[in-house]
Amino acid sequence: MNPFTYARAQDAADAVRLGAEKATKYLGGGTNLVDLLRETIEQPEKLIDVTGLSSDIQVRADGSILIGAATRNTVLASHAAVRTSFPALSRALVAGASAQIRNMATVGGNILQRTRCTYFYDNAGSRCNKRNPGQGCDAFEGFNRNHAILGASSSCVATHPSDMCVALAALDAKVHLRGASGERTLLLNDLHRLPEDHPELETQLNSGELITAVELPPLPMAARSTYRKVRDRASYAFALVSVAAAIELEGETVKDVRLALGGVAHKPWRAWKAEAALKGQRATVEAFRAAAEAELAMAVPLHDNAFKVELAKRTITTVFAELMEIES
Amino acid sequence: MPITVNGEHKDLPSDARISLLDFIREDLHLSGTKKGCNQGACGACTVLVDGSERILSCMALAVQYEGRAITTIEGLSANGEMHPLQNSFIEHDGFQCGYCTPGQICSAVGMADELRRSVPSYVTANLSAGKIEMSHDELRERMSGNICRCGAYNGIIDAIAEVQAASRAQEAV
Amino acid sequence: MSVIKDAAQAVMKKAIEIAPDSIMPGGHPDPIINRKHGLIGAPISRIDGPLKVQGSARFAAEFPMDGLLYAALSYSTIARGRIATLDTSAAEAAEGVVLVMTHRNALRLKPTPLFMSAAKAAGGDDLPVMQDDLIHWNGQPIAIVLAESQEQADHAKSLIRATYDAEAGTTSFAAGKAAGLKVGNFQGEPLKHEIGDAEAALAAAPHKVDHIYRTPRHNHNAIELHAATVAWQGDELRIHDASQAVAHMAWSMAHIFGLDEKKVHVSSPYVGGGFGGKTLWSHHVLACAAAKLAGRPVRIMLSREGVYRVVGGRTNTEQRVAIGAQADGHFDALIHTGVVAMSAHNNVPEPFILPAQSAYAAGSFKLEVQVATLDMLANTFMRAPGESVGTFGLECAVDELAVELQMDPIELRVRNEPDKDPTTGLRFSSRNIIEAYRTGAERFGWNKRHLKPGMHREGEWLIGLGCATATYPYYRMPGGIARITISKEGRVKIEIAAHEMGMGTSTAQTQIAAERLGLPIGVHAGSNYHNPPSSVGWGSYHIEDYVAQAQAFQTQLTSLIVEGVFARHPKLKMVMLESGFTWLAPFVWRLHKFWRGIRMETPWVDRPPMEIVHSNIRFSLQPVDAPPDSATLHRLFDHMQSDELILFSTDYPHWQFEGDSALPEGISDDLVRKIMIDNPHATYPRLKQLAPV
């Protein structure tokens, strides 16, 4: 790591003031950033520890939940209101990493974690447009089993590794931001960017902008939601494909539905097409499968990851069937 | 504010880059906590914060833990008496080379506390239930952050399960 | 370019054949081979357990030294060529840096001696380390940085800039194959056996399979990162290492550095996993060379990335297995051939034909491992070299042939069971694989197995049932030395250069030594941390605790006898230390009486408990929990109905008797002689060889 100074922010205003200096980065649990510092992929001159900022979880009367960005993953996953009203989020959180890492990781840090693409990480030996714009992408024709099938470009085929974000994307979560020019709110779905020809730009954040909170809008149907992660090992591995889903029925018809995919794109993938295909349909395994087909129709498999296309379709179908408690 | 390690106050290093792991091993010469990967993938560096919260010391910067209390494997035995988990690991042969062992034991202490607080896991069937139903699958999932390359997993599970069962029996009393 | 000297080949071959045992004419079998009921196989907890669970077992990077410097390595990013420019100026100027060593200023060293090129050579390859600008593999270290802290060393290493004159290297397996193949050599033997004309027999066989099986590269990934703490004292070199071969390391490092072997001290009491990979690699050489130049001790611990760059693993393999068989399953032809990758400076071609050499009888054999030469890191021994990947190919082919023949896969194996080694003709000293298959089949419910795969489903899972033969070689190497010291107190110390990587060597060797020397096991009370010593739980006062220990011994005694320990190990001797003995007689009467009444419950207790105590269990004299008068005490001795039970002790330094005499008053001279001489001699036979008292 290059030498850096360390400061603890007292509150959000203090953090943003410190964050306005050049070459600074906000430090949460450190479970991704410390790794990137060691690999010299990130080289800030100052770290601003924001773990002392708000870690409150406020459940409001309308059922919405406001979560301080310094809340640790384990704490959020264990919260009674999250477990009962937004189980997909709780399950997504505990699907991630290991217990030790979940104890350390903050919600804000989880959102901003960076890809684990091995070429991104191979600072000394591989070409990466994210690390060095214009350098090229060795993953595109390299070993790309873990890479994207949706929304990628020839500049970058990396995936976003977070589980929590997939659930947040499905639940229409909002992120509260604070920067030098004030406060604003974005949908999480709009925070992360697709790579296009600028994979080095991963989010819509302005320089020095800080995530202060995540908000779950009221969504009664989310009480019937879940998260499923498919990976090479039973635990402690990144998703090949993951699914966050919620469903609400009126009789036998789908009244409302939420679906997001992980492991398939540069950002958590909200499956708008599948949702549109399912609304108003009879809730059958065939309908779920057809919706999955609609969503994955645009999938572009790479040399090593074509299996993800079928895997995503099957996982979507199985998850909805499970939510409905029917055999798939 | 100093950092407390196994009950003793220690000055933090001036270099902010030093991990909690390297601080413990190289500055404090407590070599019980191990470096297996230095990138958060193996769990051999697991220590306990404020008594019972398990974290990976390789991913923690020492300066972040100013004012906190850290317990390492050396701090688990008290007055010459070993922790029940340490005895259980010996009895059930829960190790071979012994390098992952301190991390496994500290992690198991942390796991026990998470169970008491009903923290869910990926295999917890009923999220809304008050208490976690302990099972073989729950134990394996909750310990999945600790790798053993010698393959002593069966002994590790038996050792932890025995202590888990004994402490639940005591709580029921 | 062959790297094996013919003479060394002959040495290795002969060495492996040495060690006559019970089946060789004129051999002297080891006397403990057939002892069934001793300490061998007894379930003893690892003796290093308490150290390991408390984190007190010291590994290579954990020996403190004054003035220690920390090392970081920089690695080549090309596979073949030369270093063109190497700018270390920023690294040298960085804070805390004491030395940057490259090929330009490195200590002059001899090339590494390759494994098996000499009796104690331990090198993965035969290359000189950092002596020139040549690059041989992607990942070869090109610089070592020494600094006051690890962070400073790692940061400085990231400032090193190298450019290369790259040559067209061979890094793809396909290109290596196309460039030409050689037959591999493993431990002095060519990996090639032909018996009869297997290709012709295969072509003529009525049933056959012929498939290619591929296995990828493997890395040992021991959880302890390769590390060493090294220090020079004049021309003596001390290395605290993580090693599977300390004697080899010492000799090899002496060779590289031009030292007298006796001046290189390598120790490795604990290894955090070796699996074949903890031998001599370039980081050892670099750390020692840099330490010499810097004049300070060095700690080097490879990062996980560094392990992949510096420590060899198992090469990939591409195996052809073809079996030609009759309708009844008998093999007419067994062909196991293929290609592995290896560098030009290495001699470990993965010997995947080893299992096929011994596994099955066949009318003809063609076995061969060929090598494609690549610009890569050296291969080394890795978790069952040859056996693991070789059995994969062979056993898959046997299973596929079983499908072809519509035959049960176990039955097919049984039909081809050889009665002597199929390729050498040697007798088997023992071979029980068929019995293992039969027993396994019964226990796993093999008779419920579907012949067609994919038939059994449980929820989301398809469940299958299969089998395979695993093989593992047993080699005996010459040159092992042990130093055994027996003290007049009757303690034995055995010093050997073996390795405790977790396989339990220190415990198993202790058991073997104890069995061989006929040593008893002593049980002493104390450290009550696990179970309370009495049925009312933990005592509140020392007197409760101490007195209660007698109960603990009583229940131990009962448990040992009733659970059948002495039936299984009739020659095992146990000595109860500081247990007291005056409780013994009535306790054993009670145990004996109930055994007589309800012994059908414990049929394995094949002798009366009283007899077991008399023959197998002894007690230390102190503490004598005696009645006030010596006559009563003497009667207690009578009650024990044996004068062979008590061994002299004082319990020094905290004796529990009044006055100076450990011997209570009023004991007859005969009994004194028993307690002080005869009984100890009988219990600790080695004492007899000492000068008489």
Least confident of B138-152, C303-317, C334-348, C450-464: C450-464
* Closest A-chain CA to B37: A35
A248 falls within a domain: yes
pLDDT above 80 (res A136): yes
Q: Which of residues 111-170 of B touch A (CB under 8 A)?
A: 111, 114, 117-122, 124, 127-128, 140-142, 144-146
Mean pLDDT of B72-88: 93
Residue B56's alpha-carbon distances to A102, B61, B70, C126, in angstroms, are 10, 10, 12, 39
* Residue in A1, A125, A318 closest to C151 by CB: A1
Whether A294 maps to a domain, the answer reads: yes
Task: Provide the pLDDT for residue C663.
Answer: 85
pLDDT bracket for residue C539 (50, 70, 90)? confident
A201 found inside a domain: no
* pLDDT tens digit sequence for C596-642: 898 888 988 888 998 999 999 999 998 888 887 878 888 888 888 88
Q: Does B25 touch chain C (CB under 8 A)?
A: yes
Q: What is the pLDDT of residue A75?
A: 98
- Measured in whole angstroms, how far is the alpha carbon of residue C22 from the centre of its chain? 24
Q: What residues of B are in contact with residue C224 (Cβ under 8 Å)?
A: 34, 36, 97, 99
Fold exhibited by the domain C173-219+314-423 = Aldehyde Oxidoreductase; domain 4 (3.30.365)
Lowest pLDDT segment from A108-117, B19-28, C641-650, C657-666: C657-666
In a mutational test of the C interface, the residue from B14, B99, B160, B173 whose CB has the highest number of chain C CBs within 10 Å is B99
Q: How confident is the model at residue A326 (pLDDT cuts 50, 70, 90)?
A: low
Q: In this complex, which chains have at least 3 CB pairs below 8 Å with chain B?
A: A, C
pLDDT in tens, C386-443: 999 999 999 999 999 999 999 999 999 999 999 999 999 988 878 999 999 999 999 9
CATH of domain C58-169+225-274+278-303: 3.90.1170.50
Locate A54 and state its tokens: 């708000």
Dihedral sign for Cα atoms in the order C402, C405, C408, C412: negative
- Residue of B14, B57, B61, B70 to mutate for A, most A C-beta atoms under 10 A: B61
Q: Does C301 touch chain B (CB under 8 A)?
A: yes
What integer is the mean pLDDT of C72-88?
98
Question: Could you give the residue ranges of the DSSP H alpha helices within C375-489?
Answer: 387-405, 409-415, 433-443
Interfacial B residues in 6-35 facing A (CB < 8 Å): 15-17, 19
- Quick: pLDDT tens for C360-397: 999 999 999 999 999 999 999 999 999 999 999 999 99
Q: Is residue C111 pLDDT above 60, yes or no?
A: yes
Least confident piece of the model among A156-160, A282-286, B59-63, C601-605: C601-605
For the record, the structure tokens of A308 come out as 């993800």
Give the model confidence (pLDDT) of C476-519 as tens digits: 666 678 899 988 877 888 888 888 899 888 888 888 887 777 76
CA distance C307 to C225: 7
Q: Which of B19, B56, B124 lies closest to A101 in CB terms? A: B56
The answer, yes or no, to whether residue C653 has pLDDT greater than 80, is no
Instruction: Report the pLDDT averaged over residues A202-222.
Output: 98
For C6, list phi and psi in degrees, rounded to 5.
-60, -40
Do C155 and A2 lie within an 8 Å CB cutoff?
yes
**pLDDT at C27 (0 to 100):** 58
Token readout for A260 is 């997001």
pLDDT at C571 over 80: no
Four-way CATH pick for C521-689: 3.90.1150.10, 3.20.20.140, 1.50.10.20, 3.40.50.2300: 3.20.20.140
CA distances from B59 to A35, C203, C478 (A): 7, 60, 46
On the question of a cis peptide bond just before residue C653, with omega within 30 degrees of 0, the verdict is yes
A158 found inside a domain: no
Domain extent, residue A262, equals 225-324
In this complex, is the C-beta atom of A99 within 8 Å of any C-beta atom belonging to chain C?
Answer: no
Task: Check CB contact of A38 with chain C, cutoff 8 Å.
Answer: yes
**How many Å lie between the alpha carbon of A1 and the closest alpha carbon of chain C?**
5
pTM more than 0.95: no
Among the partner residues B119, B120, B145, nearest to A236 by beta-carbon distance: B145
| Structure confidence at residue C570 (pLDDT) | 77
Look at residue C3 in the predicted model and tell me its pLDDT.
45
Hey, are the CB atoms on C273 and B32 less than 8 Å from each other? Answer: no
pLDDT at C11 over 70: no
In this structure, what CATH number is given to the domain that contains residue A36?
3.30.43.10
Count up the domains in chain A and report the number.
Answer: 2
Q: Can you give the pLDDT at residue C661?
A: 81
Say whether A34 and B120 touch across the interface (CB within 8 A).
Answer: no
B31 chain-C contacts, CB cut-off 8 A: 55, 58-59, 61-62
Closest-approach residue (CA) in chain B for C269: B97
Question: Residue C89: CA atoms inside 13 Å, Cβ hemisphere, count?
Answer: 2
Can you tell me the distance from the alpha carbon of C169 to that of C138, in angstroms, rounded to the nearest whole number? 10
Least confident of C353-357, C523-527, C613-617: C523-527
Residue A295 is assigned to a structural domain of this protein: yes
Residue C691 clears pLDDT 60, i.e. is over it: no
pLDDT in tens, A32-73: 999 999 999 999 999 999 999 999 999 999 999 999 999 999
Give yes or no for a contact between C242 and C311, defined as CB atoms under 8 angstroms apart: no
Residue C95: list chain A partners with CB under 8 A. 3
Helices B84-91/B153-172 angle, 10° precision: 140
Of all residues in chain C, the percent with pLDDT exceeding 90 is 63
Report yes or no on A83 lying in a domain: no
| Residue C473 CA: distances (Å) to CA of B130, C101, C365, C383, C470 | 54, 42, 20, 12, 10
Which residues of chain A neighbour C304 with C-beta distances below 8 Å? none
Residues 6+ apart with CB under 8 A from A303: A141, A144
Domain-wise residue ranges, chain C: 58-169+225-274+278-303, 173-219+314-423, 521-689
What is the structure's pLDDT at C31? 65
At A305, the pLDDT band (50, 70, 90 cuts) reads very high
Q: What is the pLDDT of residue B69?
A: 98
Q: Which helix (H) or strand (E) holds A46?
A: strand A46-49
Size of interface B-C (CB pairs under 8 A): 127
Position C4 scores a pLDDT of: 45
Q: What is the ipTM of this complex?
A: 0.97
pLDDT for position B62: 98
pLDDT at C2 over 50: no
Task: Answer yes or no: is pLDDT of A322 > 70.
Answer: yes
> Could you tell me if A328 lies within 8 Å of chain C, comparing CB atoms?
no
**Across all residues in chain A, what is the average pLDDT?**
97
Min Cα separation B160/chain C (Å) = 13
Q: Which of A40, A125, A318 is facing C158, going by the closest CB pair?
A: A40
**Cα torsion through C651, C654, C658, C663, rounded to 10:** 10
- Tell me the CATH number at A276: 3.30.390.50
A143 Cα to chain C: minimum distance (Å): 14
Q: What is the mean pLDDT of residues C173-197?
A: 95
The minimum CA-CA distance between B166 and chain A, rounded to whole Å, is: 23
Chain B residues whose CB is inside 8 A of the A91 CB are: 120, 122, 127
